[in-house]
A = this chain, B = another copy of it.
């Protein structure tokens, strides 16, 4: 019998987790109980008359959902793995409030600023829910004059997007961010960020992945040497960013027809942004007659060359693709940018679980300066793990595989075959709790033995202690293994020690 998750040490989980993710293997005990998606379960309800209300709907707000215990178990294991990785790289944990002064968030997110949730003006400050964890981090650094910090933060953020729940996109979602702030020698922290993304994605066994890398300065350089007017940089960038979803001819059409670019300019851009490759492409771009004239682009290329050198030492260069179409939406990036994508849709999710990027980040050297009174800045580079999408993939796999998950960690159940034994059961379970043993009983005065044993099987509880008249007289307790149905009588005074021995064996 596989031990239930809750009893496993974290390391042991790591290997079990691997099994979990291979859909052919059936692990676990207990009941399958995937709640019907809560955000779909909408009930029309009527409050009691005295509340003088008419019909109303019981639901969670649009784009949000409850997370059931089954979902929470999966999430916590994933978050533990991500956080373990962040700690392995020496990060400290930070937390910031769920909302910020509205003015802290304005002019940071470009076109997406309209997606910020504002709080109602109830007298006092104008507030907005945080949109990501990066801007609050930059605000924290500036406010506390911190010049150097390697921090991680895990928390919810909120965006008023049209929810496309199928893709694992919600209006409330969790982000896991790792960032390195400080003035250092070039590309060493940047390379570490890419290493972390590889470690997390490998560790979670999501299948093959690729990290696209580009540099904002190279992109700007391309636009400049292709003679795109500065005023159109932003619009053209967001067209380029669509190349992972739509073909070049459609992107070109958008540039020309919608954004008013001359066709020959668009073609010139197309020659660049359709290219991707390894470090050899970096060298090729260095030789490019037009691009090599652009100072910004040369800086970006130089940094990428150095980055690839370090990535090779980290043994991850083959996971990285220099992709000239990568643009990233957020305004604050200033240098290298990256985005991890899964290379294959999980075979079992046939209705195309398109998850997009599962991790992304980049360098933002100017953001802290925006918050600093004197404009002093702190260079930063970081990454965000798209855990919400990873949850969605793993949940889908588990559902497909019919995997069952224990949602409690109870080790021992306290049972009796006799009536009027509540007092003995309460005394006994109290002893177990005090010894740190995870224990449950039924909240009934006189439950049937069968009901009690059924509860254990149902919940995946491995051990039962049984006490009755006979046992009480003889000063013993029966210890039963739920899986094997073996029972042994042990001395009452040895109970805790015996249970601990049993648990450590399994």
Decide: A89 and B440 in contact? CB cutoff 8 A.
yes
Decide: B66 and A433 in contact? CB cutoff 8 A.
no
Given A76-B93, A314-B426: 11 more A-B contacts, CB < 8 Å = A38-B143, A41-B143, A51-B107, A58-B373, A59-B143, A60-B96, A61-B99, A66-B143, A98-B172, A120-B121, A313-B430
Interface residues of A (CB under 8 A from B): 6, 35-36, 38, 41, 43-48, 51, 53, 56-62, 64-69, 71-73, 76, 87-101, 103-104, 107, 117-122, 124-125, 127, 129, 136, 139-140, 142-144, 150-151, 156, 158, 160, 172, 180, 182, 184-185, 188-189, 191-192, 195, 199, 310, 313-315, 369-373, 375, 407-410, 422-423, 426-427, 430, 433-434, 436-440, 443-445
Decide: B189 and A443 in contact? CB cutoff 8 A.
yes
When the two chains form the complex, which single residue of B35, B58, B189 contacts A142, counting CB atoms closer than 8 Å? B58
A440 to B58 CA separation, bound complex (whole angstroms): 50
Interface centre among A35, A103, A443 (most CB of B within 10 A): A443
Decide: A46 and B99 in contact? CB cutoff 8 A.
no
24 residue pairs from A and B, CB less than 8 Å apart? A38-B144, A41-B144, A43-B143, A43-B373, A44-B373, A45-B371, A58-B142, A58-B143, A60-B101, A66-B140, A88-B436, A88-B437, A90-B439, A90-B440, A98-B156, A117-B119, A117-B120, A118-B119, A184-B444, A188-B426, A188-B443, A192-B443, A314-B426, A315-B434
CB-CB under 8 A for A96 and B370, given A6-B87, A315-B430: no
For A66, what are the chain B residues with a Cβ–Cβ distance below 8 Å?
94-97, 136, 140, 143-144
CB-CB under 8 A for A427 and B38, given A93-B72, A95-B66, A97-B65: no
Decide: A72 and B92 in contact? CB cutoff 8 A.
yes
Decide: A101 and B443 in contact? CB cutoff 8 A.
no
When the two chains form the complex, which single residue of B68, B76, B98 contacts A98, counting CB atoms closer than 8 Å? B98
For A408, what are the chain B residues with a Cβ–Cβ distance below 8 Å?
87, 90-92, 150
For A143, what are the chain B residues with a Cβ–Cβ distance below 8 Å?
38, 41, 43, 58-60, 66
For A195, what are the chain B residues with a Cβ–Cβ distance below 8 Å?
430, 433
For A72, what are the chain B residues with a Cβ–Cβ distance below 8 Å?
92-95
A143 to B56 CA separation, bound complex (whole angstroms): 12
Decide: A98 and B158 in contact? CB cutoff 8 A.
yes
For A142, what are the chain B residues with a Cβ–Cβ distance below 8 Å?
43, 45, 58
> What residue in chain B is nearest A313 (Cβ atoms)?
B426
A56 to B372 CA separation, bound complex (whole angstroms): 11
When the two chains form the complex, which single residue of B117, B370, B373 contacts A122, counting CB atoms closer than 8 Å? B117
Decide: A94 and B121 in contact? CB cutoff 8 A.
no
A38 to B146 CA separation, bound complex (whole angstroms): 12
Decide: A439 and B88 in contact? CB cutoff 8 A.
yes
Shortest CB distance A296–B (Å): 19
Decide: A60 and B443 in contact? CB cutoff 8 A.
no
Shortest CB distance A298–B (Å): 21
Copy total for this chain: 2
For A117, what are the chain B residues with a Cβ–Cβ distance below 8 Å?
119-120, 122
A427 to B313 CA separation, bound complex (whole angstroms): 5
When the two chains form the complex, which single residue of B38, B64, B100, B434 contacts A99, counting CB atoms closer than 8 Å? B64
For A36, what are the chain B residues with a Cβ–Cβ distance below 8 Å?
144
Decide: B151 and A103 in contact? CB cutoff 8 A.
no
CB-CB under 8 A for A95 and B67, given A48-B375, A433-B89: yes
Decide: B185 and A445 in contact? CB cutoff 8 A.
yes
For A47, what are the chain B residues with a Cβ–Cβ distance below 8 Å?
370
Shortest CB distance A144–B (Å): 6
For A144, what are the chain B residues with a Cβ–Cβ distance below 8 Å?
35-36, 38, 41, 66
CB-CB under 8 A for A430 and B94, given A107-B51, A120-B121: no
A407 to B87 CA separation, bound complex (whole angstroms): 10
For A87, what are the chain B residues with a Cβ–Cβ distance below 8 Å?
6, 408-409, 438
For A61, what are the chain B residues with a Cβ–Cβ distance below 8 Å?
97, 99-101, 125, 127
Shortest CB distance A257–B (Å): 30
CB-CB under 8 A for A185 and B46, given A76-B93, A119-B119, A125-B61: no
For A53, what are the chain B residues with a Cβ–Cβ distance below 8 Å?
103
A103 to B369 CA separation, bound complex (whole angstroms): 42
A222 to B199 CA separation, bound complex (whole angstroms): 64
For A59, what are the chain B residues with a Cβ–Cβ distance below 8 Å?
101, 143
Shortest CB distance A73–B (Å): 8
For A127, what are the chain B residues with a Cβ–Cβ distance below 8 Å?
61
For A104, what are the chain B residues with a Cβ–Cβ distance below 8 Å?
58
Shortest CB distance A166–B (Å): 19
> What residue in chain B is nearest A447 (Cβ atoms)?
B185
Shortest CB distance A183–B (Å): 9
Decide: B94 and A68 in contact? CB cutoff 8 A.
yes
A407 to B151 CA separation, bound complex (whole angstroms): 10
